[in-house]
Structure 1
Amino acid sequence: MQVDAANSIAGQQRKAGDDDPENARWHHRPAGPVGLNPLFEWPPRPVAVFNWYRGAWLQLTALTVPFVIAVTVYFWFLPPLEDMTRFEPGWMFRIWLLNIIPQSIVAGGLHWWLYVRKGQGTKTKFDRRDLTRDNGVFTFRNQVWDNIWWTLGSAMTVATVYQWVLFWVMANGWSPVITWDSAPVWFVVWMFFIPMWSGLHFYWVHRLEHQPVLYRHVHAVHHRNVNIGPWSGISNHWFENLLYFTTYFVHLLVASNPLHLLFHVYFQQISPVMSHAGFEKIVANGTEAARSGDFFHQLHHRYFECNYGTSEIPFDKWFGTYHDGTAAATERTRKFKKQMYTR
């Protein structure tokens, strides 16, 4: 699900003669080990931390795109809270549209540019293969249609129902609601912490879903996508989405504004579209337009039992499931997977 702001020089391959036998399996990979947020390193590296967050917030990334969408929706399209004190079709239908439309525009737009028009060819594409067609593993025997169905049918339904409940609770004053005027400092601080909370929640839910029983019956739907594309981001089984979107319920306890909830919503729903794009960068007219694919998570889809979280909080490093892209990490991950499934 999500931001790898420390990927090294775009488009640079490992040098010829590198001893990693896995290199031949990649079309493109960033140079050097996959980076993690330096905020958690000791001794402190303030310049590295500044550069990490500058890269995440001052470019088109899986952070800034959801934030821009959230602000746009908040000021122009979100119904007033006072209209949501009762469950009524009008505002509930609008919330559903505010999920379906941005999701379709971002995922559909990226898919069109990268895989239909092939606007940048295979430049910065991680996996040399194309998306799968005529394969019985996927619903409708087609990877893209499978992903669209599980995204719009499953994920957007669960997310919308959860949002109905949260906005209704906020509107009735049953959760702590703040405004910019009442708590300007916390308003900004909480906005910056939402991606961290998302990463914390995602690691533990995702790790749970990799337990053999849940993986086989639930999470395997998402992992049909070894070679991922934009529509793969939240192409999840219904039960997985019931768990994945519980991250939103933190707003029942933590003082929030509807804008915080919207940013959380779009970060959770839109950022996986970008991190699963399959391309490290979006390139238009020969110029880098946005940071998209996340090699940290791409490694998870290739090797499965590693990089359960995000690069924002280094849970994987702390708990021994970090794959940094090296041959040694691949070997360690394969041993861990073998042990996991032979218990």
Structure 2
Amino acid sequence: MDDLKFGIRNKRGDWAPSASLELPPFWARPVSLPKVLAWVPEYLWPWNAFHLTTALLWWFFVVPDVAVLKTLSWGWALWLYAVNAAAIFVFYGSVELFWYVKRKQGTRFKYNGKFPADQPSDVFWFKSQNIDNFLRSFFISIPLWTLVEVLFLWAFANTWATWLPWESYWPWLVVLGLISPAIHEVHFFCIHRLIHVPILYKWVHSVHHNSVNPSPWSSLSMHPVEGFLYHAVAFWHLLIPSNPLLAIYQLHLAGFGAVNGHIGFDKLELTEGQALDSHAYAHYLHHKYFEVNYGGDGLIPLDKWFGYWHDGTKEAEARMDARFKKKKERLNAKANRA
């Protein structure tokens, strides 16, 4: 595919889409019903459908019986970790293998024209972003993902949370499933903005931001505090009357879904004429500029409401630069007063 039909490439080899990021059409005024109806399939397919499918597979084939879940034990906890780790290895690893190791589409549609493997740095373990990110994912974040999973399954099994059966409460549970991505977006924005507070950024979130040029293994490369807070989004289903299947779905939106913002490519070419949209650009801009797009794609446009939204346009860049300038002026004035 010719990526220059969809965007532009600068002198450094970095690619950017021609189209600016847009909020979901139901936020536009006046609301266009045809645009909303056209957006619904994009919302459901393929990513949210994939995460729901994996949640169903976990519920029916991986999660132990309720009688087992009532008692905490290393046996079933380690089983869940093994399955989670294996699934991430296959899922993330497939993207890494084809698009970063074999480089099957070169730098077509790649936001940053360089590959992390070609840029050793002292900020990473063994001077390798790939090794560093891989180890942090499998020995920090995925164990914390599993800890959250164990805790909410244990809580549901012991009736410490309201477990609604699908037979009687399916309308509410369907609605809750449909808004689970919105729950993820609000939770992610809140904890993400929190760990950008200077002291927390220095000691916690900077670990993730070492990957300025993110790749699939960067997705779950986090400090333990961030790793726990990020996956703790599933605990909302202990507060809301829900079902453990939806808690697993919520967890998979976070765990498997983290790769979306870190793929590094706008489109993944599947065949000569077909490509899969990654929806990675909003979060790539966050990794590039650090203080924009704390949430996701704007399903709940908190970034827009709080003035952090960057849609990839020159106008957004100008607004960002003006905000950075005011921030610098405030810091300088504070330093002069001291």
When normalised by structure 2's length, the TM-score is 0.90
CA shift, 1:335, in A, is 3.4
- Counterparts of 2:19 and 2:130 in 1: how far apart (Å)? 31
- Counterparts of 1:248 and 1:10 in 2: how far apart (Å)? 37
> Which one-letter code corresponds to 1:64 in the other structure?
A
CA shift, 1:203, in A, is 0.7
CA shift, 1:162, in A, is 1.6
Equivalent of 1:161 in 132, 144, 147: 147
**In the alignment, which residue of structure 2 is the partner of 1:235?**
221
2:112 counterpart SS class: coil
For the 8 Å contact 2:7–2:19, the answer to whether it is kept is: yes
Equivalent of 2:5 in 12, 21, 37: 12
> Which one-letter code corresponds to 2:148 in the other structure?
Y
Flag the structure with more relative contact order, 1 or 2, with Cα contacts below 8 A and sequence separation at least 6.
1
**In the alignment, which residue of structure 1 is the partner of 2:14?**
27
For the 8 Å contact 1:218–1:240, the answer to whether it is kept is: yes
When normalised by structure 1's length, the TM-score is 0.89
CA shift, 1:261, in A, is 1.2
For the 8 Å contact 2:52–2:249, the answer to whether it is kept is: yes
Equivalent of 1:115 in 91, 100, 105: 100
1:152 counterpart SS class: helix
**CA-to-partner distance for each residue in 1:164-196, whole Å, 9 max, x for gaps?**
111101001110111220211112111111110
For the 8 Å contact 2:270–2:276, the answer to whether it is kept is: no
Equivalent of 1:224 in 199, 207, 210: 210
Does residue 183 (structure 1) correspond to residue 183 (structure 2)? The answer is no
Paired residues, number: 327
Q: Equivalent residues in 2 for 1:269-284 (5 A)?
A: 269-284=255-270
**In the alignment, which residue of structure 2 is the partner of 1:207?**
193
Share of identical aligned residues, percent?
31
2:22 counterpart SS class: coil
Does residue 336 (structure 1) correspond to residue 329 (structure 2)? The answer is no
For the 8 Å contact 1:175–1:252, the answer to whether it is kept is: yes
- Counterparts of 2:327 and 2:203 in 1: how far apart (Å)? 17
- Counterparts of 1:247 and 1:79 in 2: how far apart (Å)? 22
**In the alignment, which residue of structure 2 is the partner of 1:71?**
56
**In the alignment, which residue of structure 2 is the partner of 1:322?**
309
**In the alignment, which residue of structure 2 is the partner of 1:89?**
74
Moved more, 190-199 or 156-165: 156-165
For the 8 Å contact 1:177–1:255, the answer to whether it is kept is: yes
For the 8 Å contact 2:110–2:264, the answer to whether it is kept is: yes
CA shift, 1:13, in A, is 4.0
Q: Equivalent residues in 2 for 1:119-198 (5 A)?
A: 119-132=104-117, 133-198=119-184
**CA-to-partner distance for each residue in 1:134-158, whole Å, 9 max, x for gaps?**
3111122100111111111111121
CA shift, 1:23, in A, is 4.9
> Which one-letter code corresponds to 2:71 in the other structure?
R
**In the alignment, which residue of structure 1 is the partner of 2:334?**
none
- Counterparts of 2:113 and 2:286 in 1: how far apart (Å)? 17
Q: Against the structure 1 CA distance between its residues 287 and 81, is the aligned structure 2 distance closer, same or farther, given a 3 Å change threshold?
A: farther
**In the alignment, which residue of structure 2 is the partner of 1:258?**
244
Equivalent of 1:246 in 209, 219, 232: 232
CA shift, 1:107, in A, is 0.8
Q: Against the structure 1 CA distance between its residues 184 and 316, is the aligned structure 2 distance closer, same or farther, given a 3 Å change threshold?
A: same
Instruction: Please state which structure has a larger fraction of its residues in helix.
Output: 2
- Counterparts of 1:338 and 1:214 in 2: how far apart (Å)? 22
2:159 counterpart SS class: coil
Q: Against the structure 1 CA distance between its residues 290 and 254, is the aligned structure 2 distance closer, same or farther, given a 3 Å change threshold?
A: same
**In the alignment, which residue of structure 2 is the partner of 1:5?**
none
List alignment gaps of at least 5 residues for structure 1: 1-8, 16-21
Q: Against the structure 1 CA distance between its residues 26 and 270, is the aligned structure 2 distance closer, same or farther, given a 3 Å change threshold?
A: farther
For the 8 Å contact 2:180–2:250, the answer to whether it is kept is: yes
For the 8 Å contact 2:80–2:146, the answer to whether it is kept is: yes
> Which one-letter code corresponds to 2:59 in the other structure?
Y
For the 8 Å contact 1:191–1:260, the answer to whether it is kept is: yes
CA shift, 1:36, in A, is 1.2
CA shift, 1:277, in A, is 0.5
